[in-house]
Homo-oligomer: A and B are copies of this chain.
Amino acid sequence: MITEIITIGDELITGHTVDTNAALIARYLTDLGFSVRYRTSVGDSLETMEEAFRLALKRARLVITTGGLGPTDDDITRKAIVRLFRRNLIFHQDLLDDIRARFKRRGIEMPAINQNQALVPQGASLFPNKYGSAVGICIAEEGRIFISLPGVPNEAEQILVDEVIPYLRGLQVNKVVKTIKLRTTGIFESKLAELIGHEMKLESGVKLAYLPSYGGVDLRVMATGEDRQEATDKAQRLVRHLEESCGRYIYGREDDTLEGVIGQLLIDNDKTLAVAESCTGGKLGELITSVSGASGYFLGGIIAYANEVKEKQLGVENEILEKHGAVSEPCAVAMAVGCRGLLNADYALSITGVAGPSGGTEEKPVGTTFIGLASAHASYARKFDFGARRDSGRARATYAALEMLRREILDIK
């Protein structure tokens, strides 16, 4: 069923609030098999709202709006609905009783203005709201369904999950959609596409999307079928192809994170980790400790920003710094080895690079970074170029270091 989501509010239109409701609703509806084709945001203006509603009902069979159901003057969604559907607002005593009781439980007398929320378009079904005073509104007319939810995110989600989804499920037999996300790192989007084969013909009803970020490229497989089995089978066939063509770059699925996967590997192998960071200044340690339970394997590290710290704390020989510089393979190796010894860890990772924007040379332009790894068996460093931007370069270095460790532990060459 073709669906449009409309989110309402001046704060969305001016960008002062990031629109999370639309993504939330879209995700639920897509998983349910609805085809969300349009997403629109409009401000708190009656004309624009009515115009957007009218257009949505023309091009979609299901329209879901959020926002504008509150008690104050700028909450005019109800007004736009009754204009559009040529209905009246009807007063509901039971709703008013509910709202009044809600205030009473908090020990507050209901402000008179909240009476507005007991006015509902004639003939609408209502979806109760557990967390607030604005109920959801549903109008079905001429094969079209129009649903309005409040804009407060937790209220919108509660009504969506408890009321709207069961209602929609009962309406019709949709096609079923199965999505699988594979997470890759250590390879560019275009190179990945080459490995996968970009001229590969996909089965009908199957889509493949590349979603790049600093941490890597996610591959999202989306397959549509008449039932769950068909959709799942189609998705799995493409996933198998992806695993065969670029499996070594895939570190996880769905909500897996590289730092989480590394943590689990260390726990499984009963190993500890320490870090020595120069240009990233603590970012690698921060990422590792963003995982709850990191104290089970992460000991800590040395932020060796100044060369004296590299020498004194990590024991990097002055000769290495003099001869090769702090951004060099020998220095990265010495940092990792020194850190591993100092903190008595099984593995140590080191990062040293030219984060920029200044400090680059012809031989070592901004972005040049060496990542070192030391273990009981080996110590080595690899050279990378993470580009001229300080923030993205440091983020990329952090993920690349984790990926080096993943490959070391799993013995991926």
Residue ranges of A at the interface with B (Cβ–Cβ < 8 Å): 9-20, 22-30, 36-45, 48, 52, 55, 70-74, 105-108, 110-111, 113-114, 130-131, 152, 154, 179, 181, 188-191, 193-194, 198, 207-212, 220, 222, 275, 277, 279-286, 288-290, 292-295, 298-306, 308-309, 313, 342-344, 355-358, 365, 385, 387-392, 394
Residues of B within 8 A of A389 (CB): 130-131, 154
Number of this chain's copies in the assembly equals: 2
A294 and B286 contact, CB distance less than 8 A: no
Closest to A71 in B: B190
B105 and A385 contact, CB distance less than 8 A: yes
Closest to A279 in B: B289
A302 and B300 contact, CB distance less than 8 A: yes
- Identify A14's interface contact among B26, B41, B198, CB under 8 A: B26
- Min CB gap A216→B, angstroms: 14
- Identify A40's interface contact among B38, B285, B305, CB under 8 A: B38
- Identify A392's interface contact among B74, B131, B283, B394, CB under 8 A: B131
Closest to A308 in B: B299
B283 and A286 contact, CB distance less than 8 A: yes
Q: How far is the CA of A186 from the CA of B296 in the complex (A)?
A: 32
Ranked nearest first, the 7 interchain pairs of A and B with the lowest CB-CB distance are A282-B282, A281-B289, A282-B285, A15-B26, A15-B27, A39-B41, A15-B23
- Min CB gap A303→B, angstroms: 4
Consensus secondary structure, chain A interface: mixed
Closest to A75 in B: B210
B280 and A286 contact, CB distance less than 8 A: yes
Residues of B within 8 A of A207 (CB): 10, 74
B36 and A15 contact, CB distance less than 8 A: yes
11 other A-B residue contacts (CB within 8 Å) besides A16-B220, A106-B387, A295-B306:
A13-B39, A72-B193, A72-B210, A74-B208, A113-B198, A152-B212, A286-B394, A290-B391, A292-B357, A299-B306, A313-B343
Q: How far is the CA of A391 from the CA of B131 in the complex (A)?
A: 12
Sampled A-B contacts (13; CB under 8 Å):
A13-B36, A16-B179, A19-B39, A37-B48, A108-B191, A277-B285, A282-B303, A286-B394, A290-B391, A295-B306, A299-B306, A308-B343, A309-B343
Q: Indicate whether A281 sits within 8 Å of B277 (C-beta atoms), given known contacts A10-B209, A15-B24, A40-B40.
A: no
Closest to A295 in B: B305
